[in-house]
Amino acid sequence: MALPNIGALFQGMAVTLREMFAKPVTLQYPEVRQPVAPRFRGRHELKRHADGLEKCIGCSLCAAACPADAIYVEPAEQTDAARYSPGERYAARYEINLLRCIFCGFCEEACPTGAIILEHNYELSYYDRRSAIITKDKLLVPAPAPDQSTPRALRDPGNLYAAIPPVKGGVE
């Protein structure tokens, strides 16, 4: 019968004793958050332009690029009375199923307007499957507060002709 390696036994006990007296690395989670890397891909967000219009034009390229088929976009035509995005169409319905999403970032790369961004939010927990489907109202970032120094006609996103300055001296 072979004798046990006493050196390895003492080496293992030394590691155990060293770790017993080391200061634990603990974050007080809700108050102190773990910093993430700059390229971290977390929960999706739909961005807006500075004037409050949605960047999403309803092209569905993000849904086509998604390998997990987790994105559903239903485009709709815009009217002059109801203006949601600067294009001819907008996303009337935009949903992301986070149970299917693999957070690859292909949707972000496929978007021609930079509307969908994977931000740094990593707190993704759900109690049922239905709440894991994120709809457009939860994805859209809030509209920026309008600048009160600009005239109201320029702040109104429904007014298409507000940004066109009047011609001096009458009609050309």
CATH of the domain at 78: 3.30.70.3270
The rounded distance, in Å, linking the Cα atoms of 114 and 55 is 7
pLDDT of amino acid 35:
87
14 occurs within a structural domain: no
pLDDT of amino acid 41:
94
Please give the backbone phi and psi of residue 76, each rounded to the nearest 5 degrees, phi first: -145, 155
150 occurs within a structural domain: no
| The model scores a pTM over 0.95 | no
DSSP element (H, E) containing 107: helix 106-110
Give the total number of structural domains in the chain.
Answer: 1
Q: How many secondary structure helices (H) and strands (E) does the chain include?
A: 5, 5
pLDDT of amino acid 93:
95
94 occurs within a structural domain: yes
pLDDT of amino acid 24:
85
pLDDT of amino acid 144:
74
170 occurs within a structural domain: no
74 occurs within a structural domain: yes
Residue 14: both structure tokens together: 């030394």
46 occurs within a structural domain: yes
81 occurs within a structural domain: yes
112 occurs within a structural domain: yes
Residue 45: both structure tokens together: 């967000």
Domain that holds residue 44: 38-143
List per-residue pLDDT tens for the chain, 172 residues long: 677 788 999 999 999 999 999 988 888 888 988 889 999 999 999 999 988 899 999 999 999 999 999 999 999 998 888 889 888 899 999 999 999 999 999 999 999 999 999 999 988 899 999 999 999 999 999 877 766 565 555 555 555 555 555 566 555 5
pLDDT of amino acid 135:
95
